[in-house]
Structure 1
Amino acid sequence: MADTPTAVGLARLHAADVLSCWGVHPDIVEMVQLLVSELTTNAVRHPKEGEEQASLFSRRNKVQTFQIALEIIGDAVRVSVWDRDTRPPVLKEVGVEATGGRGVFIVAVMSRRWGHYPAGSLPGKVVWAEVGLVPESRAGDDGRPTPSPGRPPVSGQGKAVRVNPNVIGRVLVGVRGL
């Protein structure tokens, strides 16, 4: 996809279409769409290391591309986004009134596992996140609720974060308003 202002919305629509065709539960589709929004926003907004981000309407602005992949892996949906920036994602602690900087935090909280790795033969990195295929509200075989997907990353590439439900609530309200 081209890293234009419409890319995030188009990536969300694409994810919903693909996952719906695969028969994924609507609650999981919605959660994956949130992850797609955050991962693609980072791919679009952050320029390649060392580059200054030109205005969208500037002649210096060269449209780049990024790739998004959706996969069913075992009992999970994996979203992977490749971009040209080699810098790893940074898990920040931001204040309640901050207007940005929560993308990686949201990915860490809403996904079962997440991480990143160098893109191999391509420049840049791949950031990925997984969400379980069974909605949180459904009970497991033993009658107990399934665990929340909002666990910290297991891959050792981010640190555990205390989750403030007020911040997550405000973010979700903002995302739903898109």
Structure 2
Amino acid sequence: MSQAPHPRDTLTLAGTPNAVGLARLHAAHVLSGWGVSAEVVETVKLIVSELTTNAVRHPKKKEGEEVSPFSSQFDVQTFELALELVRDAVRVSVWDRDARPPVLTEPGVEATSGRGVFIVAMMSSRWGHYPAWGRSGKVVWAEAGLSPVSRGGENEGLEQPPGHPPATGSRQPRPDPHLLGRVLVGVRAL
């Protein structure tokens, strides 16, 4: 007797500034269709926002080159968003062409950027990254538990999805509840 496959959906987007909003809308539509609760959909939308923002802002570029996505010299590349129901979670995976691993930092209160991976780590039950297979770049993934108690960095380290190479990175920092609260208030205001 075979088991039914897990629901899975993929979307390829151009790495343009409007891609993040489109990815969030797509995720909400797909997850609502799968019957995922509104609270989990909101968490997944936040994770999708952060992972796709990184794919748009940090595409593979030549050493030292920094080109704004609004510049006519910007070379538009694509990235892929995948959503999947696994065990007791929604897994969000984003493939981009940049092989550099995500950097988990604990930004200061006054920092104006650099919180994306931190937010993903705090809002997901598990997260990690691995080199893309058969193409350049990497895949960064995160899981949001289908029950509210399974998020917030219950794990102390990075994990790997089954069947993938070991995740690399450092241990998750302890969240500063005041900083996380301010970030969430700012995100809700978007």
What TM-score, normalized to structure 1?
A: 0.88
Shift of 1:106: 0.8
Alignment-derived partner of residue 31 in structure 1: 43
Asked if the contact 1:78/1:129 (under 8 Å) is kept, the reply is: yes
Alignment of 1:67-146 (within 5 A): 67-136=80-149
Asked if the contact 1:131/1:149 (under 8 Å) is kept, the reply is: no
Paired amino acid for 1:104: V
Give me the whole-angstrom Cα distance separating, in 2, the residues matched to 1:19 and 1:126.
21
Asked if the contact 1:49/1:87 (under 8 Å) is kept, the reply is: no
What TM-score, normalized to structure 2?
A: 0.83
TM-superposition CA deviations, 1:67-97 (whole Å, max 9, x none)? 0000001111000000010000011121011
Distance change >3 Å, CA 153–CA 110, structure 1 → 2: farther
Shift of 1:162: 1.3
The number of residues matched between the two structures is 168
Asked if the contact 1:108/1:153 (under 8 Å) is kept, the reply is: no
Paired amino acid for 2:76: V
Percent identical pairs in the alignment equals 65
Shift of 1:34: 0.5
Give me the whole-angstrom Cα distance separating, in 2, the residues matched to 1:56 and 1:100.
16
Alignment-derived partner of residue 150 in structure 1: 153
Asked if the contact 1:116/1:125 (under 8 Å) is kept, the reply is: yes
Runs of 4+ more than 4 Å apart: none
Give me the whole-angstrom Cα distance separating, in 1, the residues matched to 2:120 and 2:130.
16
